[in-house]
């Protein structure tokens, strides 16, 4: 819990840091008006800036509360091994399985809301040897036509 002293130190640090910024801007304006070259800020402004930053860092670290461990296993101690790899946000039900196995509509008489579609087993697909883009039958006709043309050329 943040004590009143740490909150007071934080407030004083913020006011002091704002004063440093104002002093730096005022010094820069003074250097321009006197047409002197700006080399660095005065030592008192630098010291005040460093002290105010240290005050802020110390007070904010006490106000923010307990730090969390950086160790990887610290959060995994409360989880079981089965639930570590479970990431529901990565589940995907739209994958290539639908395209590979397709869906076939069930017979009209048996159709209901729950059984409208069924998955077609791979044995119902044509084999790779007989399958072609056009269905496989036209390839055989084309082969016969090509053989006939070769015989005519001879």
The Cα 17–Cα 111 span in angstroms is 76
Q: Which pLDDT score, from 0 to 100, does residue 106 have?
A: 45
Q: Crossing angle for the helix pair 43-63 and 4-33, nearest 10 degrees? A: 150
Q: Which pLDDT score, from 0 to 100, does residue 89 have?
A: 74
Q: Which pLDDT score, from 0 to 100, does residue 151 have?
A: 65
Tokens of 14: 């913020």
Helix (H) or strand (E) holding 137: helix 137-153
One domain, residues 59 and 103:
no
Instruction: Give the count of domains, the chain.
Output: 2
One domain, residues 101 and 56:
no
Classify residue 92: in a domain, yes or no. Answer: no
Note down the domain range covering 134.
Answer: 97-153
One domain, residues 8 and 59:
yes
pTM, 2 dp: 0.45
The Cα 10–Cα 17 span in angstroms is 10
Local mean pLDDT, 10-residue blocks, the chain (154 residues): 86 96 95 91 95 95 81 72 73 74 54 50 53 50 63 61
Domain boundary among 63, 80, 111: 63
Classify residue 69: in a domain, yes or no. Answer: no
pLDDT tens-place string over residues 13-45: 999 999 999 999 999 999 999 999 988 999 999
Cα dist. 43→12, 16, 38, 49, 67 in Å? 20, 15, 14, 10, 35
């Amino acid at each position: 819990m943040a004590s009143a002293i740490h909150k007071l130190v934080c407030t004083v640090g913020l006011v002091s840091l704002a004063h440093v910024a104002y002093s730096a801007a005022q010094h820069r304006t003074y250097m321009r008006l006197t047409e002197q070259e700006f080399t660095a800020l005065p030592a008192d402004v630098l010291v005040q800036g460093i002290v105010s930053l240290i005050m802020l860092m110390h007070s904010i670290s006490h106000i923010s509360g307990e730090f969390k461990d950086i160790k990887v296993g610290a959060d995994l101690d409360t989880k079981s091994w089965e639930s570590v790899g479970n990431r529901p946000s990565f589940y995907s039900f739209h994958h290539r399985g639908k395209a590979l196995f397709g869906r076939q509509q069930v017979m009209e008489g048996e159709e209901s809301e729950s059984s409208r579609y069924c998955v077609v087993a791979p044995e119902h697909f044509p084999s790779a040897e007989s399958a072609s883009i056009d269905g496989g039958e036209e390839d055989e006709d084309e082969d016969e036509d090509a053989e006939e043309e070769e015989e005519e050329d001879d």
